[in-house]
Structures are given as C-alpha cells and as structure tokens.
C-alpha cells in the first residue's frame, strides 16, 4: 500500500498555529508532514494532519480524505489501531471509492480480531471491481488475495479457493497465490488438485507447488528437490553469514542445540520428550532454542524439563537469535522445521553453529546451502536417493523417528462410543486431508469392495474434504455408510481410540509418521506402501525396526492384496497384535536410550569431521 494518497514537493517543515495550518494548500501540508516523518517526528506529523483536517474549509475540504488516509497510515504504523480505523473511515466518508482506505481498514480490523468486518471491507473492493480503472487493478488483486489468505486461516476453504482463483484469472503470474490455491485444493480433496484454468497451465502449477504440498503429490525425489529449490529461491532469500566460520570449540561435552517452534503438543514435539531425557549428560550438553507457543499442557512442561538450557527466542529477530546461539558455542545445531510452517531459516542462514542439520520437521530435502546434514536411517534414505538431497546424511542404526514410552493415553472406549459398528471389520487411516490423493483412495475403495463387511475410519478434517471423499467413494460404488469420520479430539483421547481399529491403512506417498508411531504403540497392525521418497518410507522404517517386514509393501497391487488377505485372517491379525505389544519392551523402534546414543554418535562424528583436517582444507562436513 502507498503511504500517502498524493505526493508533493517538500517546503518548510515545522508546526504551525491552527489558523495557519488551515490555510495550507494540500501540497504544502503533505510536504511538511513528510518532512516531519523523515526527521523522526511522526507524532508531530499526526498532529499536523489532525489540525488541518479539523480546520480546513472551502474547496480544499473535499480533499481532506488525503490527510485522513495518511493519518490512518501513520497511526497504524504506530500501533494505534483504533485511531487508524477512525481515520480510514473518515477518509471513506469523504471519498467512498478510496479503495486503498477500504483495504487498509480491513487490515486494521483483522489485527484486532474483527475478521468478518475485515472481509467485508475487502469484499467492498471486489464488488466495485467493475468500476475500477486499469491502474487500479493491483488494488482488486490485493482484495482477492487478502480474502483468500484470511479465509484460509479461518478454515473457510471454498471461499479462499474461489477468491484466489479470481485473482489468478486476472493475473496468472502470481506464484504465491497459486501455491496457496493448490494447497487449498489438497486440503479439500478437490481432485485432481493440479487442474489448469484460464492462463494457469500445468507447468505453472508444478513450479508453484510448495515443498510440503509436493511431499503429498508425488513419490518422486527429483520433484521434491525441484520444489524445495523453487521455494527457497522465491521465499527464503535471507541474509547469509559465517558467524561460526573457523570456530572449533573444545568443550568437555558436545553442545547440541535444538531449534524449533514445535516443542509443545505438536506432531514433532510429541515424539521428543523420552528421547531428550535419554541424552547422556556426561557426554552431551543439550540446549533448546524455542519459539514454540506456551500451550500450558503438562506435556509441554515435561518436554522443556528435558533440556539443560532453554532459550526462548519468540521475541528475537533472526540476527539476535543467531548471536545467542553463537554465544552459547553450539557445536551442532539441529533444525526441526526444515521447510515446514514456522521455520526460522533466517537464523540458520547466518551460520551460528559450525555444523547444522535438519531432522523430523520436514520429510524431504531443504535444498538450502546452510544445512549440512539430514538425520535419517538407511531405510528411509537409501543410497540411490542421496543425489536428490543437498544435505549429507547422518545415519542412525534404527528408525530415525523417536517415540515416547510414557505417552499419555486416555481411557479405553468402546466402538459404539467412537461411532463405529461392532460387527464390521474396521480399516482406519487418520491423515490430514491434504495428504490424501485419488490413487491411494482408489486403492482403499477397491479394498472396501473386496471386504463387504468392512468400514473405513477417517479423520473428519474439514467439511469440504469430508463431502468430497463421500462423493468420490460413491462414484466408486462405495456407499457413504462405509466411511466413518472421526472428529478431532485431544491427543490422549485420539490415542485411546487407535486400538479400536482392526488394521491401519498407511497412506502413500505421504506416510503417517507421528501417527504411525502411536498406532503401533497401541498394538494396532499397520500396512504400509513404501516408495522412493523419505516421506513414503517412514512407515516401512518403523515396521522394519519392529521386525514386521511382512507389513511393508512396494506397489498398490501388493498393498491391496495384503489388506484384503489380512481382513480375512483374524488369527494372523491377532498374532500381529501380540508381537506389537511385545515390541514395546524389546524393539529398537521404542528403545530411546539406544536411539539417543546413536544420535549422539552421529552428531559427534559430524562435529569431528568439521573440526578435522578435511574441514580445514575446505571439504564439506
């Protein structure tokens, strides 16, 4: 948005008596106000605009909307939202088609939580689109994009999708708007997601697909690398640095820093408490650099207590946080976001630690030059897929996904209490809707048709997705009563209901991760389909560590055949349940002490390589 509705030359600066202020021509007023702002006296500029707007008479009074608009900008910048809103409304009262004021008023209303009023302001601009001059088209685009953004945040997905599509029809070359439009279609299971329209073609859609969306869209590591690079070039052009360049610390214990905004009841955070508590404190010193919300849960308190040092960096900018990490002399900094929401890559770009790795937060390559390593196991990242990773792998001997041997689980419940039939075979797959795709869902529908006395238990993610999935099933000859949708519940209750399923059907290519860990801990057998990407091999990694390779398939045909066979073999399913319950105590998948040693070994090796002769000669860590 422009900061003024008109511009002028800059004559003398300084405050005037009210009578003299009223006689100022608009150009002189703007010049004085801009000079005051430039001199750091924005409060005086505010006073000047107010005096002029109150005192002006005659023909110039019709131009007072300019002063009111600029006053709104200054007050909004200063955090006086009520004052800014009053100024914008005053400007609109004088000039109803001042679309910039409607846009800015909406922004201020959103900031104070009045979201419906904000949307109404932007809708006013959209409704007036037919009256706009060509030069005003950017304002119409801004209105559509604001509606799309806020409706997405409010989970009003159909409205968000429609607004962004209108924006893209006006100007197709908007990769950010297209990225969100595509992900909105994923969230609603609007298949096919990549559906060209207008001048938005398939190539544009592929290039605008976000890294997260690409994990769910294609089992192709090369496409994931492409998406990561495109995203990094478009969204992560941070200032880079070499803060820790040449640093070789001689600590008695390796200093590991975990950088995350998910150290709470988040899918990543819920994996960590047991592992963090198992770190050998005679060997490593553990730091948390935390930008996570304070959710007030006992789990959050438990997790934070496992770190020796906790630094809360929510209020710090990237440079301040990087300097803090440098001052802590961290040997290895482990980023737990990658390219997922909440990432603070601006910190890592400054290189505050000699070795920087990524783990858990994003199940693919980041393609970022300041990330040296990715922490994996040999199942999820086999050697033939390494060329599609910019990071060098640090291999753990067992599954790279930690788990919690002390996870909180709610009281047992019956199938009836969960809305399930007692006399049917229950397949389950609790994935966020954006991870689903028509190829996998077709497989599930074929399985249901082959097992007539079965139901598929799914997550009721959002109304649009639920309606679309029911319609998709009906089109495949599967009645709506065969799909049972579970509402979202708190973590402990969600874990309790996992034991009610007969067989968990893992998704592909975006496998379950944290959810799969909970499913297997609950003793429910899980069938997975392992592909070519890390995200499609998480389930296989867990099952391999649990010594259940017979539940790992490698094609949709084998997956379907195995699911159907298991549904007709209750004895085998019971045997699998018994093996899973025994694995709680005897499997590497749930041995967090052993995993902690492996992690420490890998990070120590990476640090030693960086500090060794090879690093001095300039070879990568």
Condensed to tens digits (0 to 9), the pLDDT of residues 493-533 reads 999 999 999 999 999 999 999 999 999 999 999 999 999 99
Tens digit of each residue's pLDDT (9 = 90 or more) over 327-343: 999 999 999 999 999 99
Higher pLDDT among residues 128 and 617, named by residue: 128
The token pair at 578 is: 């018994």
In the chain, where the domains are located: 18-207, 233-398+593-621, 425-590
* Mean pLDDT, residues 252-265: 97
Instruction: Specify whether domain 425-590 bears CATH 2.40.30.20.
Output: no
- List all residues 6 or more positions away from 302 whose beta carbon is below 8 Å from its beta carbon: 273
Farthest CA pair distance, the chain: 94
Report the distance separating Cα 497 and Cα 188, nearest Å: 25
Report the distance separating Cα 586 and Cα 579, nearest Å: 10
pLDDT bracket for residue 542 (50, 70, 90):
very high
Report the distance separating Cα 187 and Cα 175, nearest Å: 18
CA dihedral (348, 349, 351, 357) positive or negative: positive
- List all residues 6 or more positions away from 271 whose beta carbon is below 8 Å from its beta carbon: 360, 401, 402, 403, 404, 514, 517
What is the structure's pLDDT at 135? 86
Per DSSP, 2 falls in state -
* Mean pLDDT, residues 305-322: 98
Report the distance separating Cα 33 and Cα 340, nearest Å: 43
The residue written with tokens 């309790």 in the block is 496
Describe the crossing of helices 137-153 and 99-111 by its angle, rounded to 10 degrees. Answer: 20
CB atoms within 10 A of CB 24: 22
In this model, does residue 63 exceed pLDDT 60?
yes
Find, among 201, 119, 121, the residue nearest to 162 by Cα.
119
* Mean pLDDT, residues 192-201: 96
- To the nearest 10°, report the CA torsion of 463, 261, 350, 369: -50
What is the structure's pLDDT at 18? 53
Tell me the DSSP string of 115-157: HHHHHHHHHHHHHTGGG--GGGHHHHHHHHHHHHHHHHHTT-H
Per DSSP, 197 falls in state B
Q: Are 372 and 395 in contact (CB under 8 A)?
A: no
Q: Cα 222 to chain center, whole Å?
A: 21
pLDDT bracket for residue 13 (50, 70, 90):
very low
Tell me the DSSP string of 460-523: ---HHHHHHHHHHHHHTT--GGGEEEEPP--HHHHHHHGGG-SEEE--SSS--SHHHHHHHHTT
Q: Are 440 and 523 in contact (CB under 8 A)?
A: no
Domains 233-398+593-621 and 425-590 share a fold: yes
CB atoms within 10 A of CB 327: 10
pLDDT bracket for residue 480 (50, 70, 90):
very high
Which H or E element spans position 333? strand 332-335
What is the structure's pLDDT at 32? 95
Phi, psi (rounded to 5 degrees) for 331:
-80, -45
In this model, does residue 184 exceed pLDDT 80?
yes
Q: What is the mean pLDDT of the chain?
A: 93
Least confident of 67-76, 123-132, 251-260, 432-441: 123-132
- To the nearest 10°, report the CA torsion of 9, 12, 17, 19: -40
CATH number of 233-398+593-621: 3.40.50.11380
Query: Residue 19: helix, strand or coil by DSSP?
Result: helix
The token pair at 140 is: 């119409």
In this model, does residue 419 exceed pLDDT 60?
yes
In this model, does residue 277 exceed pLDDT 50?
yes
Report the distance separating Cα 384 and Cα 105, nearest Å: 54
Within a 13 Å sphere around the CA of 229, how many CA atoms are in the beta-carbon half? 12
Pairing verdict, β 425-429 and 503-505:
parallel
Report the distance separating Cα 336 and Cα 319, nearest Å: 19
Describe the crossing of helices 570-586 and 514-521 by its angle, rounded to 10 degrees. Answer: 100
Report the distance separating Cα 510 and Cα 216, nearest Å: 5
In this model, does residue 617 exceed pLDDT 90?
no
Query: Residue 18: helix, strand or coil by DSSP?
Result: helix
Tens digit of each residue's pLDDT (9 = 90 or more) over 118-135: 999 999 999 998 888 888
Report the distance separating Cα 229 and Cα 243, nearest Å: 24
Phi, psi (rounded to 5 degrees) for 416:
-60, -40
What is the structure's pLDDT at 615? 41
Tell me the DSSP string of 306-329: T-SEEEE-TTS-HHHHHHHHHHTT
| Cis amide bond preceding 192, omega within 30 | yes
Query: Residue 210: helix, strand or coil by DSSP?
Result: coil
Find, among 326, 191, 341, the residue nearest to 245 by Cα.
326
In this model, does residue 10 exceed pLDDT 60?
no
In this model, does residue 614 exceed pLDDT 70?
no
Report the distance separating Cα 179 and Cα 168, nearest Å: 11
CA dihedral (306, 311, 313, 319) positive or negative: negative
* Mean pLDDT, residues 434-447: 98
In this model, does residue 6 exceed pLDDT 50?
no
In this model, does residue 11 exceed pLDDT 60?
no
Report the distance separating Cα 522 and Cα 403, nearest Å: 12
CB atoms within 10 A of CB 411: 8
Report the distance separating Cα 435 and Cα 509, nearest Å: 8
The token pair at 451 is: 């097992």
Question: Hey, what CATH topology would domain 18-207 get?
Answer: 1.25.40
What is the structure's pLDDT at 15? 40
Strands (DSSP E) contained in 336-481 are 355-358, 373-377, 392-396, 425-429, 454-459
Q: Are 403 and 521 in contact (CB under 8 A)?
A: yes
Tens digit of each residue's pLDDT (9 = 90 or more) over 14-39: 444 455 887 899 999 999 999 999 99
The residues with which 284 forms a beta bridge, in sequence order, are 254
What is the structure's pLDDT at 285? 98
Residues of the chain with pLDDT > 70, as a percent, come to 95
Report the distance separating Cα 552 and Cα 223, nearest Å: 24
Report the distance separating Cα 331 and Cα 340, nearest Å: 24
């Amino acid at each position: 948005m422009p900061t003024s509705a008109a511009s002028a030359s800059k004559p003398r600066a300084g405050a005037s008596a009210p009578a003299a202020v009223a006689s100022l021509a608009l150009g002189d007023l703007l010049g004085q106000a801009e000079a005051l702002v430039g001199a750091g006296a924005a409060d005086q500029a505010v006073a000047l605009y107010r005096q002029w707007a109150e005192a002006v008479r005659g023909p110039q009074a019709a131009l007072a909307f300019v002063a009111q608009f600029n006053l709104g900008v200054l007050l909004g910048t200063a955090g006086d939202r009520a004052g800014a809103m009053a100024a914008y409304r005053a400007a609109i009262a004088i000039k109803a088609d001042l679309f910039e004021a409607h846009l800015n008023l909406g922004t201020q209303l959103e900031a104070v939580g009045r979201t419906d009023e904000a949307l109404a302001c932007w809708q006013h601009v959209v409704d007036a689109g037919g009256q706009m001059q060509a030069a005003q088209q950017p304002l119409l685009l801004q209105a559509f994009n604001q509606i799309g953004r806020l409706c997405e945040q409010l989970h009003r997905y159909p409205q968000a999708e429609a607004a962004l599509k209108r924006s893209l029809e006006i100007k197709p070359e908007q990769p950010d708007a297209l990225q969100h439009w595509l992900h909105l279609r994923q969230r609603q299971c609007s298949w096919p997601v990549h559906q060209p329209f207008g001048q938005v073609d398939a190539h544009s859609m592929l290039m605008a697909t976000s890294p997260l969306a690409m994990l769910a869209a294609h089992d192709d590591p090369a496409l994931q690398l492409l998406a990561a690079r495109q995203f990094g070039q478009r969204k992560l052009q941070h200032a880079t640095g070499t803060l820790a360049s040449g640093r070789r610390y001689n600590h008695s214990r390796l200093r590991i820093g975990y950088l995350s905004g998910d150290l709470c009841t988040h899918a990543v955070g819920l994996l960590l408490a047991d592992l963090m508590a198992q770190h050998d404190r005679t060997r490593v010193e553990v730091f948390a650099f935390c930008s996570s919300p304070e959710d007030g849960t006992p789990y959050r308190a438990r997790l934070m207590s496992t770190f020796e040092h906790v630094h809360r960096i929510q209020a710090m900018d990237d440079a301040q946080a990087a300097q803090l990490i440098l001052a802590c002399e961290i040997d290895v900094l482990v980023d737990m976001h990658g390219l997922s929401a909440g990432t603070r890559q601006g910190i890592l770009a400054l290189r505050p630690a000699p070795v920087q790795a990524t783990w858990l937060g994003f199940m693919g390559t980041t393609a970022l030059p300041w990330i040296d390593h990715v922490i994996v196991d040999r199942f999820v990242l086999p050697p033939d897929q390494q060329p599609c990773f910019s990071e060098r792998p640090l291999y753990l001997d067992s599954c790279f996904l930690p788990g919690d041997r002390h996870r909180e689980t709610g009281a047992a419940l019956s199938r009836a209490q969960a809305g399930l039939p007692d006399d049917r075979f229950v397949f389950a797959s609790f994935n966020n809707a954006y991870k689903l795709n028509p190829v996998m869902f077709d497989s599930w529908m074929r399985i249901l048709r082959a097992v007539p006395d079965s139901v598929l238990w799914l997550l009721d993610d959002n109304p649009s997705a639920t309606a679309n999935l029911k319609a998709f099933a009906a089109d495949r000859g599967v009645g709506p009563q065969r799909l049972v949708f579970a509402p979202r519940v708190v973590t402990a209750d969600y874990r309790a209901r996992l034991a009610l399923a007969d067989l968990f059907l893992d998704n592909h290519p975006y496998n379950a991760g944290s959810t799969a860990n909970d499913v297997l801990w609950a003793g429910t057998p899980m069938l997975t389909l392992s592909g070519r990407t890390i995200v499609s091999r998480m389930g296989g990694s867990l099952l391999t560590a649990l010594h259940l390779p017979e539940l790992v398939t490698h094609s949709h045909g084998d997956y379907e055949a195995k699911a159907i066979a298991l549904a007709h073999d209750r004895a085998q399913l019971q045997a699998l349940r018994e093996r899973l319950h025994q694995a709680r105590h005897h499997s590497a998948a749930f041995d967090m002490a052993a995993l902690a040693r492996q992690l420490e070994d890998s990070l120590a090796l990476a640090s030693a390589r960086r500090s060794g002769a090879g690093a001095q000669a300039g070879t990568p860590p």
